[in-house]
Amino acid sequence: MSIPAHLSDDRLIDLARGLLPPQAEPELLGHLESCPLCEDRFRRTCKEAEIGRLRRLRAPRQRSPWWIGAAAAAALIAAFVLLWDRSPAPSPSAYWFPLAIERVGLRTGESDPQAAAFEAAAEAYRRRDPERVVALLRGREIPEAHDPLKIVLASALVKTGEPAAARQILHRLRIETLPQPDRDRARWILYAALVAEGRNDEARALAGDLASRPGEFSEAARLLSARQGQGRPARTNPPQ
């Protein structure tokens, strides 16, 4: 079967409802692994399907046999379980720190070469070009006013296969002094670096702490902690 650039809505709905032949699922799930856009659409499709099912159950109508609702719920759960087992979505190494130029005080057209380099690095990161980010920021003195760029550099170093350098930058940044949500975002990138280095005990402790508190990464950290607790390694993506 030839997979298009992006899966159609009908294809995603059929996959979420378990309507595809078993031999078709592996290739489609493989596409979801490599296409964040389709993966996000698939997760929304699953959520909408479950909401629709619950609404239908509450609607006054002739009751269907109990096994129809049970089969639909089982298919939906199976889709989520299968996607979680194969998907890189919770992987911290796949995470991109949300960065806006105004957050680091940069202005387009700045004549200062240092500021111009910072602006170019921020733009490269938003284009998902970690190699360019590293080339622009490595060895530069980044002032405290531009601390988000230090997180960006650490993220780029994880993605280009230099987790030890990323960890050192984040430790020097003193993550615990950062305001939220940057604090947890930097810790999530640190978790990715620790996993990539094989520092599993430190990574496990950090994931456990993130999972214990409400926040942007609590659910993903909980899932990763559960996976590690079952003796399965935390999955990380290759550098992107």
Instruction: Name the residue range of residue 132's domain.
Output: 99-229
pLDDT in tens, 77-97: 555 545 544 444 457 788 899
Q: Does 83 lie in the same domain as 114?
A: no
Indicate whether 226 pLDDT > 60: yes
Domain boundary among 29, 59, 88: 88
Q: What is the mean pLDDT of residues 62-85?
A: 52
Residues with Cβ within 8 Å of 198's Cβ and at least 6 positions away in sequence, in order, are none
At a CB cut-off of 8 Å and minimum separation 6, what does 124 contact?
132, 133, 136
Same domain for 140 and 104, yes or no, is yes
Which residue, 190, 189, 200, is CA-closest to 233? 200
Give CA angle at 89 (205, 148), nearest 5°: 65
pLDDT of residue 240: 37
**235 inside domain:** no
Residues 188 and 149 in one domain: yes
131 compared with 29, residue with greater pLDDT:
131
pTM: predicted TM-score of the whole model, two decimal places: 0.59
**pLDDT, greater one: 84 or 98:** 98
Percent of all residues in the chain with a pLDDT value above 90, rounded to a whole number: 37
